[in-house]
Amino acid sequence: MMGAEESRLAFLPETVALPPDVQHVAVMQQPVNGRMSAIEEAMRGNLTFNAIDVDTANERPYSICQIGIVQVRNGRVAACRSFTVDPQEPSRAFNLRLHGIGPEQVRGYPVLPRLDGKLRLLLEGTPLVSHTGFDRAALDRAMRHHGLRPLEVRWLDSAWIARRAWPERYCRRGWHLANVAGDLGISFRHHDAVEDARTAAEIVLISCLHTGTGIQDWLDFGTGNRRDDGS
């Protein structure tokens, strides 16, 4: 008997091969050969979202020291933004080795409450993508830690989307950001917040083209904000 999740996804379109002229549509600034594929042209209006990634100073989720935001409009990257944040927390050696952001790098930068208005202006009202639930949980915890209300956004998980776009590859394992990016030929500097956010955005765009499914469609499936471990 088909489970609830399978029944919700039963109307997913048959997966289609990526047109040969579409290579990483996230960074395409002009149509290849002066034209777009029929799939991309039809879906441009349904490929608007933001992507986010955060780095933390230590094991506490609210110790955010860097925020990377990528704004995608009609299937193209419109802006990439990086914010260094003073977490007012000690650095842990493990985290420092990952992203290289320590006390010296955050000195003089604003604390999260100083960025609250800017983040809301950039993000609220548009679907927000993160790769797994870590960034969503960290941002939510940080907002609460500083007495701020959570962002008013609808979240999507790019790992969840990749697992459903390629179930034969990622259904049970292998949906870590670096692994999916490698499979899709996306080059990036891991553990740089903007680079990780850009990569999550590209994974979503390629998944949308692969399945013929837009952002609103994934939101309508109802479980795209599910939290999976594996960033």
**Tens digit of each residue's pLDDT (9 = 90 or more) over 55-65:** 999 999 999 99
Name the DSSP class of 189: -
CATH superfamily ID and name for 19-221: Ribonuclease H-like superfamily/Ribonuclease H (3.30.420.10)
Give one word for 48, left, alpha or beta, with left for phi > 0 and alpha for psi -120 to 50.
beta
When pLDDT is averaged across residues 200-209 and rounded to a whole number, the result is: 92
Mean pLDDT (whole number) for 41-56:
85
Radius of gyration of the chain (CA): 18
Q: Where are the alpha helices (DSSP H) in the chain?
A: 4-9, 38-43, 93-99, 103-106, 112-123, 134-145, 158-165, 167-170, 177-184, 193-211, 215-221
CA–CA dist 123, 70 (Å, integer): 10
What would the pLDDT profile of 128-187 be if each residue is shown by its tens digit?
999 999 999 999 999 999 999 999 999 999 999 999 888 888 877 777 887 888 888 887
Contact 114, 106 (CB under 8 A): no
Would you say residue 15 has pLDDT above 70?
A: no
HSE-CB of 76 using CA atoms within 13 angstroms: 9
Annotated domain spans of the chain: 19-221
Reduced to 3 states, what is the DSSP secondary structure of residue 26?
helix
